């Protein structure tokens, strides 16, 4: 039978359509409320923020990327249940679990009691938010009808609104209660590093194992670099006289890929490694212990020069990582745990730097402003010192504030950038085991490629070459070579090239007279000590034979202008060199 306008059946269809529209509006209002005010629940290792999704399902799956991989929570539902949008993060306390040794999937999985408590808390939180949002929409519709018709809403309209509100709230609550229960919890599956747990007995040991397997890829990459240089780069850059070759890395973020680093050290003939910070994630030393980071550093066999990043401490006064790094024989801290600045003379090069004052968990506001005290302290300490050849910082906002320095180094942003004399180092590990950084205009970025740089210095201490490597998918999947770039050092430090030309044109220095028999060793020369060279004296020279020293920068007294006496340097080993109590490293 065909309904015509005015037929009683048409009126009933119209009422049903209005009721369905009101029902849908109330449902969307409830969903909107759960998104505007999401519910947060926690277990021992996870924190979840829940919002309702407008699409109902019979088999809802909670999929969310966490900072150590993706987590899928699957449920089975006897009725259509609203979907859930869950933002899951790993709590800082997971580092306690990682520090206990091998980690199994069961150790990471929430217990039944935790799941029950979390589900109840989530159901209550989502339920009252949904009901409140639906009620607000229902009330708004009634008020709108009142003002639109300039009279009280009809009884039939109020009945439709009331029944729609009851049905949508009760139905959504019932379907949610029937679905998100422990007995309907079907499975927990993980990917990324959490998935590595399912394939290996130890969480971070699995990453190191894959890194060992990936070393042939590094050899291929370095071989490709050499072939490109021989083909396209001028001979004076590909075959320079090298006084020092330094590997630049940054933002390890808890991933033990030091077997890869050893390959680079061996294949490239690296004399030292510079790390510009963020070696861990949550500022907890246990992370480094669990991952074998400190053993990996020691295995390199060359000096490991370090400044800390904002992920390397858990509070403004936390220096635990620096103290632990100081116990690694080949680590050189350019600012010690007490905040004292140091200058390293290595192969005749002067290196200095300072730690990041920020810490894991700070508010992230005004990063440039937070660097100012550390920058000012460094500039004041180095004001009367010879200009450093390399200045190490973690954040670019710190590097750009340095008053004096031939070449400035920083990490933090996870991308390789060359800005005048400032070299920004990418992440050596592709963001590490917790590649969780949000892509913003001025902060760290998600999913960056693996990257490292190699600096080469000539016999007159000038930077001759920067070689930049970026690549992807080294630990998981097939490697993809993104970019290999060779940069003439003269474009980074033009003064170095000018000084080299002047040095090559200068007459050779006369040999120094021998020291009298039985006299103490002659003091180190200005060239090797880093002291300023007066006009007319011979220019600096850099060489692997130059004495390696680590000295504390004297701290001035504002009242009388005096300087404090540098404390002694604890005996340690730097590759094949040993530090004496005076701070001198003898081969």
Q: Looking at the predicted structure, is the pLDDT value of residue 242 above 70?
A: yes
Check residues 435 and 432 and name the one with the higher pLDDT: 432
To which residue do tokens 């966490």 refer?
66
Q: Which CA distances in Å does 519 have to 92, 279, 516, 523?
A: 59, 46, 6, 11
Mean pLDDT of the chain: 75
Of the listed ranges 322-326, 458-462, 481-485, the least confidently predicted one is 481-485
Q: Please write the tens of the pLDDT for every residue from 339-366.
A: 999 999 999 999 999 999 999 989 989 9
Q: Which CA distances in Å does 497 have to 185, 462, 500?
A: 67, 6, 5
Quick one: average pLDDT of 565-580? 41
Q: Looking at the predicted structure, is the pLDDT value of residue 333 above 80?
A: yes
Check residues 426 and 155 and name the one with the higher pLDDT: 426
Half-sphere exposure of 222 (CA within 13 A, CB side): 20
Q: Looking at the predicted structure, is the pLDDT value of residue 478 above 80?
A: no
Check residues 115 and 33 and name the one with the higher pLDDT: 33
Q: What whole-number distance in Å separates Cα of residue 496 and Cα of residue 476?
A: 41
Q: Which CA distances in Å does 541 have to 383, 390, 458, 549?
A: 23, 16, 9, 15
| CB of 278 closer than 8 Å to CB of 251 | yes
Instruction: Tell me what pLDDT residue 147 has.
Output: 75
Q: Which CA distances in Å does 377 have to 65, 155, 355?
A: 40, 75, 11
Q: Looking at the predicted structure, is the pLDDT value of residue 221 above 60?
A: no
Interhelix angle 203-232/192-199, rounded to 10 degrees, is: 110
What does CATH list as the number for 207-505? Answer: 3.60.21.10
Query: DSSP secondary-structure letter at 455?
Result: E
Q: Which CA distances in Å does 283 have to 93, 286, 308, 392?
A: 11, 9, 10, 20
Q: What whole-number distance in Å separates Cα of residue 75 and Cα of residue 61?
A: 6
Q: Is 177 helix (H, G, I), strand (E, B) or coil?
A: helix
Of the listed ranges 155-164, 309-318, 577-586, the least confidently predicted one is 577-586
Q: What whole-number distance in Å separates Cα of residue 77 and Cα of residue 176?
A: 9
∠417-419-420 over CA atoms, to 5°?
145
Domains of the chain, by residue range, sit at 8-197, 207-505
Instruction: Tell me what pLDDT residue 98 has.
Output: 52
Instruction: Tell me what pLDDT residue 340 has.
Output: 96
Q: What whole-number distance in Å separates Cα of residue 157 and Cα of residue 22?
A: 10
State the DSSP H helix or E strand holding residue 137, giving kind and residue range, or none if neither: helix 112-149
**Sequence-separated (6 or more) residues with CB below 8 Å from residue 573:** 329, 330, 579
Quick one: average pLDDT of 85-112? 59
Quick one: average pLDDT of 560-579? 41
Q: What whole-number distance in Å separates Cα of residue 470 and Cα of residue 316?
A: 33
Range picked from 323-327, 413-417, 456-460 for highest mean pLDDT:
323-327
Q: What whole-number distance in Å separates Cα of residue 37 and Cα of residue 504?
A: 70
Q: Which CA distances in Å does 4 have to 7, 10, 19, 107, 171?
A: 6, 7, 21, 67, 34
∠136-142-146 over CA atoms, to 5°?
140
Q: What whole-number distance in Å separates Cα of residue 252 and Cα of residue 276?
A: 10
Quick one: average pLDDT of 390-396? 98
Q: Looking at the predicted structure, is the pLDDT value of residue 542 above 80?
A: yes
DSSP 346-396: ETTEEEEE------TTS----HHHHHHHHHHHHHHHHTTSPPPSEEE-SSH
At 439, is the pLDDT very low, low, confident or very high (cuts 50, 70, 90)? very low
């Amino acid at each position: 039978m065909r309904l015509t306008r005015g037929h009683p059946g048409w009126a009933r269809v119209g009422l049903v359509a209005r009721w369905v529209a009101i029902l849908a509006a109330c449902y969307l209002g409830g969903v909107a409320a759960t998104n505007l005010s999401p519910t947060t629940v926690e277990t021992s290792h996870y924190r979840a923020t829940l919002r309702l999704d407008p699409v109902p399902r019979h088999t809802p799956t909670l999929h969310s990327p966490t900072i150590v991989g993706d987590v899928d929570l699957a449920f089975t539902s006897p009725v259509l249940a609203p979907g859930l949008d869950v933002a899951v993060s790993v709590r800082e306390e997971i580092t306690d679990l990682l520090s206990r040794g091998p980690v199994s999937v069961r150790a990471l999985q929430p217990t039944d009691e935790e799941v029950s408590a979390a589900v109840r808390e989530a159901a209550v939180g989502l339920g009252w938010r949904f009901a409140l949002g639906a009620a607000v929409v229902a009330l708004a519709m009634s008020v709108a009808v009142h003002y639109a018709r300039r009279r009280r809403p009809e009884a039939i309209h109020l009945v439709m609104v009331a029944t729609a509100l009851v049905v949508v709230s009760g139905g959504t609550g019932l379907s949610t209660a029937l679905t998100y229960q422990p007995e309907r919890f079907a499975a927990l599956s993980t990917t990324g590093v959490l998935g590595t747990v399912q394939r290996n007995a130890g969480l971070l040991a699995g990453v190191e194992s894959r890194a060992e397997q990936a070393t042939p890829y590094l050899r291929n990459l370095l071989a490709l670099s050499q072939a490109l240089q021989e083909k396209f780069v001028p001979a004076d850059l590909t075959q320079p006289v090298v006084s020092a070759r330094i590997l630049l890395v940054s933002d390890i973020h808890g991933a033990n890929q030091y077997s890869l680093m050893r390959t680079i050290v061996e294949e490239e003939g690296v004399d030292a490694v510079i790390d510009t910070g963020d070696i861990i994630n949550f500022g907890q030393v246990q992370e480094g212990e669990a991952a074998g980071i400190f053993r990996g550093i020691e295995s390199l066999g060359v000096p490991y020069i370090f400044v800390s990043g904002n992920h390397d401490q858990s509070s403004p006064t936390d220096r635990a990582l620096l103290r632990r790094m100081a116990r690694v024989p080949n680590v050189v801290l350019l600012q010690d745990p007490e905040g004292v600045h140091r200058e390293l003379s290595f192969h005749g090069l002067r290196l200095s730097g300072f730690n990041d004052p920020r810490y894991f968990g700070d508010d992230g506001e005004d990063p440039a402003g937070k660097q100012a005290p550390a920058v000012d302290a460094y500039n004041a300490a180095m004001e009367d010192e010879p200009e450093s050849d390399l200045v190490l910082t973690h954040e670019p906002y710190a590097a750009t504030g340095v008053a004096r320095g031939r070449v400035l180094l920083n990490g933090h942003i996870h991308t390789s950038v060359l800005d005048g004399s400032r070299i920004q180092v990418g992440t050596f590990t592709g963001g590490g085991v917790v590649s969780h950084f949000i892509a913003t205009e001025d902060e760290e970025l998600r999913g960056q490629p693996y990257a490292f740089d190699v600096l080469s210095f000539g016999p007159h201490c000038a930077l001759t070459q920067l070689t930049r490597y970026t690549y992807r998918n080294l630990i998981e999947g097939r490697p993809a070579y993104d970019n290999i770039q060779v940069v003439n050092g003269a474009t980074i430090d033009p003064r170095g090239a000018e000084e080299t030309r002047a040095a090559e044109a200068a007459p050779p220095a006369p040999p120094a007279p021998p020291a009298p028999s039985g006299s103490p060793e002659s003091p180190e020369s200005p060239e090797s000590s880093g002291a300023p060279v007066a006009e007319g004296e011979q220019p600096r020279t850099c060489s692997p034979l130059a004495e390696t020293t680590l000295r504390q920068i004297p701290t001035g007294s504002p009242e009388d202008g005096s300087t404090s006496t540098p404390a002694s340097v604890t005996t340690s080993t730097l590759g094949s060199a040993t530090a004496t109590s005076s701070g001198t490293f003898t081969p």
